[in-house]
Structures are given as C-alpha cells and as structure tokens.
Chains A and B, each alone.
Chain A
C-alpha cells in the first residue's frame, strides 16, 4: 500500500449508515452518517443536513454531492455516473455539486476528506453503487405500495418506475413516499453487462460553465465588503521579519492595513487593500528588513554535491530481496552504474493559490479550493481558536491542483487565519501572485539516484542496487507516525520498491536529507522519479541485449503483473507506427504498474534545435472497468503533457532564494511543446476500477528519453535536458 493505513474495500461499513429524509421543499434526501455516538443522538436534531449525498427533487431532478474537489480530473461527472447507474436515473436530470467539508464526506482510504492518489473513483465505486441501488429500491418500494404490487414486479428505467399493469411513476413523484421508507439493508447490484451509463463515454458536467465564463473558481469568490490580502514573503524559506516600514504604504490609495503575520515557518508582512492592484502595488513597495539568522540557505549546487556523495553510500534499506552480496560476486565488466539527478518541480497550477475567509470571532466561513478539506478545516479551527464545527468550509472549484492544494500543514489556511484574525468581521481573499505561488515551496523534491546493476549472461539484470536520495514528504508532519516505517518514507521510493520486474537480487535504500525547502506530493509523487530511473535503465539493458523493448520487458515482468502486461501488450499492437518512422525520428517506450493500474506509452521523438520534440504518443492503460472512457482518455492525455514538465523545467535555488518566479523561468509545456496527437487505448475489463488521474504522468519522460537515446546514442540522466 502507498500508505500504511488499511483501507476497507470501499464498502459501506458497519460504522456508517445511510439515512433518508423528507425535505421541507419536497423530495428525498439521502445522507451518509457515521455511527459516532454523539452524531447518532443528535441525528434527528440536525437541520437541513450538511451531509446530504443525493437529493431527488419533486420535479425529478437529482442532485448529487461530490465529496472530492473538482480540479479538472472529472470526478464531478464520474461519481454521479456511478450513482445514476445503480439508481437507473435519467442522466439528463442529474446534476452535481461539490460537498462542503464534513465528516460524512471523509473518504477511504485515508479516512479524511481528501482528493489525492487517483483514489476518488477507485475507493468510491462500491459505495456510490450502493447509494444508488438503495435509493432505487426505496423508490421501487414506494411505487409498489402505491400500486399494491410486489416490488419485484416493478422495473426501473431512466428515472421512471414501471409496474406490471402498465403503471408508471417518475422518481420525483415517488420521492416523498420513498423518503418515509426504511433504508434497505441489502441490495443487489447490477451485473456490469447491464450497465448503460458506467462504461459509456460521457461528456463532463462542467463544460458549459467552463466555456462561457460563468464557472466560479476560488479566485472568483466575491463577498460584500471583502478585501484583498497579499503577503510579502521572506526571500529565503523560514526567515523572519525584523522590521518594516508600514507607514510608507499605509497611506497608499485603497490600502487598509499592513501588519506582520506568522507563517508555518518564519513570518511575513500582509497587506490588506480594497483591490488586488492596490494590494499588489503596496506589497511590492514594502521595505522589509529580514532576519536570516538561523535559516538554512538551501542552494541547488550545494545540494547536488551533497546528494551525489550520499548516493554513493547505502541508505536505510527499504527493500532487499535475494542475496545482499550479489553485486560483489560479479565482475565490474558486467556492471552498469548510472547516476540520476532530478530537480525540484513546482505544481504551478494555472489558478494561483488563494482562499477566502470570513471570521466573526465565534464563527468562520471559508471558501477553499482544497484537496484536503477536513484537514484545512482543522487548521483554520486551531488557528482561530474554534471548534471545527464552528468552521464552515466550502470546497470550491480549483484551476488545477496536482497535489499543491493539500499540504499537511495547511499553510494557506494558516496564513489566511492570521490575516482574518487581525481584520475580524471583514471577509478577506488571500491571493498569491504567480511569483508568490511559484516561490512558495511545496515542490516535488529534488532527488539523486545511483543504481548499480550486474547484468547476467542472458542479458537480464541479475543484481540491482538502487540508492535514492530525497527529502521525505512526511517526516516532521502530523502523519509521520502513521506512514514512516523504520525511517523510510514510502512515497520517496514508490515506483522503485514496488516495480513488477523480477530481478532476483534487488535492493532499494534511501537517504532523507533534511533541507529547508518545503516539499510535497506532485501528481504521481515518487513515481515521477523512480519510474524514470527504472524505465530508462530497463530500456538501456534491452538495447545492450539487442532485444526488442517490449519482449525484454515482458520477459522480465512478473507473470502475475497482469495489468502492466496487458497495457504493454495492447500498446505493442496499437503503436505499430513505430515500425515506419521517417528518418530523424525514433520511438521510445516505457511502462509502469502505478498502484495496480497498468500503464504503458510509446513516444515518437526527434531533435529540433537541440531540443527534444515529441510528435506523437500512444498510451495503453489497464485500469479495471473504465467508468468514463472519455474522461480516462482526457486524464491520460493531460498526464502525458504534465509529465513532460520535468524534461523542460526545474525549480532551483541559489543562496537560499528560488531562482524562478513565473512561466518564463519555469516553463511548463505549451501546445508547441506537447505532442500533436495522443491516442489512448483502454484494456477492456470488468474488474473493479482503478486510478486514472496520475498513472500516465511518470511514463512519458522515460519514453521520450528512450526514444532520444535511439537517435543520439546518449542517455539523459540529468533533468531537465539542457541540450540534446
């Protein structure tokens, strides 16, 4: 498991129960309750439940609350599809909204309200089917009573119950009666062969508002009397304000207040103004004297040297299989030694970090594009001295997230709370400028890898020793006890320890240096580095063995790793274009088992102006039953584009300061950098659905580099690639 936490299988467990209720305005409201004693006692006393999942309105419209943030991944469409399938709803009557923070929306496997790990559908599939099936049974029961027939004589289709004598009633007409019925204990779920919504390519719910400008993102929240807050942050992580000249900016037009606030580490100066532009002008003119004593000035050059030295020594062993001394039993002529350096990366979602908060002294209301809603709620409560129940947190649409909107220390709500406390009663919107966002840390960590391989007589790897060096995501956070085992952060080495190649003597060890740069889990987390290392090396071995890259991988892969084998096999068939390439072009492939999802891709590359150019990509994915193939295609296409970033860009530090501040210094892929065609193929399956949002991210960069190696004969182990 990625986490030590043992998830249930996503079934509605005995500690949770569904409750149906009638609503004043009519209709059936279904909520999910946790069987906490306090809640159970008060269950009837709760007002219009803040924990509704499904609301069937008298006019037949169905509103489904989605417990995960929508940040592009399509969850606002896919989870409702699952409910609607078992409910036999009329899809055109279904709409969805984002659930606020609340216990009812805590989700497996973490048991917090989170959107991460490509988990939303994987762990929500069974539960949401059961939601739909139970409600359907109640509607059928209500209809059967009305017609004095047996429920099993009735059937449902597209939002209508039909009786044996030709009777029919819409769900909306039945909702009030259904709300008075008990929730069925047992329901029979559909056979996947009978699905008519799940498995069908379904367009997104949120396309229209996102194409006519009406979609409200977090940055668009507007409250009466709201002010804009910007923060002048220390140029070096952890530094503190020594002194600043508040007077000089306080008199500027539109500026309301200027004051020092604590940060999670260090301190900063906040400016509150009527408008963004006044706040920005004032912030940019602030003269601040910083206290750099006791801060560490991280420097990329120094870190590289330090990491390289560490990589030459064995770290804490995370996995050891076979003979520990195997390498020393082989002769150096059989060895391949490879050293990799992979940079810090910024998430750089297009919508900068921001949130809105109103704090009145005994209540707070927040609007956050949060990937970890209940954690952020807790951070706000603690910072404001409130109980979480006094903090209403609206989860709002995010312009991308990629992991940056879920730090465990809740750094953004922490800052907003400090500002809101000072201007109590006035709603504030805290905005990060692009420069603030890019320089704010919480990067994918920089890592160094040293791999020593002994190649057997058959050309296959016989012994493999991988030393990884990278900051831990978790050590020093509240989750340390839960996830860190024997000093090893499993996220840093994922993709290395759990790869599916059968290498008889195999060891992964890791060093976690303490560095002052905040790091966090970027889309595909440790896989973005370890899959790059694994797949470029496997490819290099295949080339040395003069073997076909598919055949070599299939020979080395565990015969039981069916998902990745299926993906590779499908890719082989769908990427025959590899055999007819124009001169100056080459193809590279890569594959991975991404937390049970099998993923493989082939990239057609060339070199243009000393830069790699990716012309076309084919992806094959084995993700169990594809809930929404159209969305899976989109996620794979997007992940391919996102995964190209590490070939092009890096966050670097000099004397403690981040050197990049905008999309010039840190250039993510634009259209001209991205492949003109990305074809996605899904392995057909009725197995339980697996994650799809991240898996394609880590396979594209090794596929491109493997293609480049075929063109130039060179291996690119230091990213980003400066020049080919």
Chain B
C-alpha cells in the first residue's frame, strides 16, 4: 500500500492503495465516483474513459501510481466545462441513452473529440468514437455529437 495525491475534478485527493490499482477502481471505490464504469478491464470497451491531462484515457489499465500530477476529470466533473455541458445537453435532447452504462465513457470520448475537432465529419466521429455500446445507440451518438458541434460554434 502507498499513498498518492491525485487531482480529480479540480480537487486534491489522498488515496492509500496498492500501487498497481487501476485508476478506475480508485475512482469508483476510494473516491466513490461511480460514474466511471468497468466494462472489460483491458482497454477494449471505453466504459472507463476519463480525461487525463485533457486526453481521453481508459482508466482501467492505468495504475494509480502513474497518474502523478496530471489532472483527472471524470463524468461527474465534465459538466462545469462548456463543451462538456453542451455534450450532455445534446445527449438528453437526442435521447441517446438506453441502459446508459456506456454513456459516461461515450460522453468523455465525445468531449475530447469536440475539443480537438470542433466540426467533426462522420468519418472523424467514427474514427474516434471507439467505445462499445452493447445497446447500439450509435446513430443517436452520431447525431448528438453533430448537434453539440453546431451549438458550440
């Protein structure tokens, strides 16, 4: 066990865990931020996507010992950001969610996409939205990203 200081959603937090513990489980179990989801544990589904120093990152494969002073933003904290809030609104407007389990990760990926590419083409969306949705909400995810994009410009 070791103690780490990490910055999550703008707050400094101390956690004492095994150094190999993935950030995902620190968020969920120690910080009680359960909006970030476990789906596969090996980087294949994107349910655990957070922003690490602004980059969409799959937290299930990132040991907490490697986070260092890079800022972590989770779904619980993305709404304070204009792009984040707009994407969340677009998701509601387009009635995207079904079971909703993948959607935290989808939204984190979509926000990262729109920050890097404010006017994404369908090919851009397809290229960067590599999160699994077993309910197959993909057409509405596409529509919501386009909707958010037009509202942000």
Chain A residues with CB under 8 Å of chain B are 70-74, 203-204, 206-217, 219-220, 222, 253-254, 275-278, 281, 348-352, 397-402, 433-434, 630, 634, 637-642, 644, 662-664, 668-672, 674-678
Indicate whether A204 sits within 8 Å of B97 (C-beta atoms), given known contacts A213-B36, A275-B21, A634-B140: yes
Shortest B1–chain A CB gap in Å is 6
Closest Cβ of chain B: how far from A181's Cβ, in Å? 38
B99, A351: Cβ atoms closer than 8 Å: yes
A641–B137 CA distance with the chains assembled, in angstroms: 8
CB-nearest residue of chain B relative to A348?
B134
Q: Which residue of B lies closest to A349 (CB)?
A: B134
Q: Which residues of chain B are near A668, meaning CB under 8 Å?
A: 132, 134
Shortest C-beta distance, B11 to chain A (Å), equals: 15
A639 to B122, CA, bound (A): 22
A402–B135 alpha-carbon span in the complex (Å): 9
Q: Is the CB of A277 within 8 A of B20?
A: yes
Would you call B117 an interface residue if the criterion is a C-beta within 8 Å of the partner chain's C-beta atoms?
A: no
Partner of A212 from B28, B35, B42 at Cβ < 8 Å:
B35
Q: Which of B75, B93, B122, B131 contacts A213 (CB 8 A)?
A: B75
B133 touches A (CB below 8 Å): yes
A171: min CB distance to chain B, Å: 27
How far apart sit A642 and B132, CA to CA, in the bound complex (Å)? 12
* Chain B, range 26-43, C-beta contacts under 8 Å to A: 28-29, 32-42
Contact indicator B36/A207 (Cβ below 8 Å)? no
Q: Which residue of B lies closest to A226 (CB)?
A: B29
The secondary structure that dominates the A interface is loop
> Can you list 14 A-B pairs with a CB-CB distance of less than 8 A?
A72-B135, A74-B98, A203-B95, A216-B34, A219-B38, A275-B29, A277-B17, A277-B21, A350-B99, A352-B38, A400-B101, A400-B135, A637-B140, A641-B135
A637 with B75: in contact, given A72-B100, A73-B98, A399-B99 (CB under 8 Å)?
no
Q: B77 — nearest CB in chain A belongs to which residue?
A: A213
Q: Judge whether B74 and A630 touch: CB under 8 Å.
A: no
A682 to B45, CA, bound (A): 32
Counting chain A CB atoms within 10 Å of each CB, which of B22, B34, B126, B138 scores highest? B138
Known: A72-B100, A434-B39, A434-B40. A350 touches B133 (CB 8 A): yes
Q: A208-B92, A671-B129 are in contact. Are A663 and B45 (CB under 8 A)?
A: yes
A645 to B85: give the CA distance in the assembly, Å. 33
Chain B residues, CB < 8 A from A207 = 91-92, 95-97
Please indicate the chain B residues that have their CB under 8 angstroms from the CB of A433 in the complex.
41
B122 CB to closest chain A CB, in angstroms?
6
Given A70-B99, A277-B22, A638-B137, 7 more A-B residue pairs with CB atoms under 8 Å apart are A206-B100, A222-B34, A276-B38, A350-B47, A399-B100, A400-B101, A663-B40
A398 and B99 within 8 A (CB):
yes
Q: Is the CB of A275 within 8 A of B40?
A: no
Chain A residues within an 8 Å CB radius of B34:
213, 216-217, 219-220, 222
Q: How far is the CA of A72 from the CA of B140 in the complex (A)?
A: 14
- B104 CB contact (under 8 Å) in A74, A213, A277: A213
Q: Which residues of B contact A220 (CB under 8 A)?
A: 28, 34
Interface size on B, residues (CB 8 A): 59
CA distance A596 to B103 in the complex (A): 33
Residue of A nearest to B60 (CB): A434
Shortest CB distance B141–A (Å): 7
Task: Mark B121-150 against chain A: 1 for CB-CB distance below 8 A, else 0.
Answer: 010011001111111111111100000000
| A278–B33 alpha-carbon span in the complex (Å) | 19
CB distance from B128 to the nearest CB of A (A): 10
Q: A630 to B76, alpha carbons, bound, how many Å?
A: 27
C-alpha gap A449/B47 in the complex (Å): 37
> How far does the alpha carbon of A521 sit from the alpha carbon of B8 in the complex, in Å?
42
Given contacts A72-B98, A220-B34, A434-B41, contact A677 B139 (CB under 8 A): yes
Q: In the assembly, what is the distance between CA of A217 and CA of B98, in Å?
A: 13
Given contacts A219-B38, A220-B34, A434-B39, contact A674 B134 (CB under 8 A): no
Q: Are A676 and B142 in contact (CB under 8 A)?
A: yes
Given A275-B29, A277-B17, A662:B101 Cβ within 8 A = no
User: When A350-B102, A637-B139 are in contact, do A211 and B88 touch as well, CB less than 8 Å?
Assistant: yes
From B37, B75, B141, A351 is in contact (CB under 8 Å) with B37
- B25 on the A face (CB < 8 A): yes
Provided the pairs A72-B100, A634-B137 are in contact, do residues A211 and B18 lie with their beta carbons within 8 angstroms? no
Q: Is B134 touching A400 in the complex (CB atoms < 8 A)?
A: yes
**Digit string of B33-64 for contact with A (CB within 8 Å is 1, else 0)?**
11111111110110100000000000000000
Q: Chain A's nearest CB lies how many Å from the CB of B100?
A: 3
The smallest C-beta distance from B44 to any residue of chain A, in angstroms, reads 4
Residues of B near A70 (CB, < 8 A) are: 99
Nearest Cβ in chain A — how far from B61, in angstroms?
12
Least CB separation from B108: chain A residue? A213
Closest A residue to B45 by CB, please name it: A663
Using known A-B contacts A253-B18, A399-B37, determine if residue A213 contacts B76 with beta carbons closer than 8 Å.
yes
Q: A671 contacts B75, CB within 8 Å?
A: no
Known contacts A350-B47, A350-B134, A664-B44; decide if A678 and B18 are in contact (CB<8 Å).
Answer: no
For B74, the chain A residues whose CB sits under 8 A away are 213
Residue of A278, A400, A637, A675 touching B99 (CB-CB under 8 A): A400
Q: Give the CA-CA distance A668 to B93 in the complex, in Å.
A: 27
Report Cα–Cα, A207/B6, bound state, in Å.
Answer: 30
CB distance from B88 to the nearest CB of A (A): 5
A residues in contact with B139, CB < 8 Å? 637, 674-678
Pick from A71, A642, A671: contact of B130, CB below 8 A: A671
Q: Is the pair A671, B44 in contact by a Cβ cutoff of 8 Å?
A: no
CA A348 to CA B130, docked complex, whole Å: 17
> What are the residues of chain A within 8 A of B99 when measuring CB–CB?
70-72, 349-351, 397-401
Pick from A74, A212, A638, A676: contact of B136, CB below 8 A: A638
B97, B99, B138, B142 — which one has the most chain A CB atoms within 10 A of its CB? B99
For the complex, give the distance between the alpha carbons of A72 and B133 in Å. Answer: 11
Contact of B122 among A74, A400, A676 (CB under 8 A): A676
A677–B138 CA distance with the chains assembled, in angstroms: 9
Taking the complex as formed, is B107 at the interface, i.e. its CB lies under 8 A from any CB of chain A? yes
B142 neighbours in A (Cβ, 8 Å)? 671, 676
- Taken together as a complex, chains A and B put the C-alpha atoms of A339 and B91 apart, in Å, by 44
Residues of B within 8 A of A400 (CB): 98-99, 101, 134-135
Give the chain A neighbours of B35 by CB distance below 8 A: 212-215
For residue B95, which residues in chain A have a CB less than 8 angstroms away from its CB?
A: 203-204, 207, 630, 634
Write out the residue numbers on chain B whose beta carbons fall within 8 Å of the beta carbon of A434: 39-42
B138 proximity list for chain A (CB < 8 A): 641, 671, 674
B29 / chain A contacts, CB cutoff of 8 Å: 275-276
Query: A203: nearest residue on chain B (CB-CB)?
Result: B95
B22 to A, closest residue via Cβ? A277
Task: From A211, A352, A674, give the contact of B97 (CB < 8 A).
Answer: A211
A203 and B92 in contact, given A276-B25, A634-B140, A642-B134 (Cβ under 8 angstroms): yes
A116 to chain B, nearest CB (A): 15
Chain B residues near A216 (CB-CB < 8 A) = 34
Q: Are A210 and B33 in contact (CB under 8 A)?
A: no
Complex contacts, A671 vs chain B, CB 8 Å: 125-126, 129-131, 133, 138, 141-142
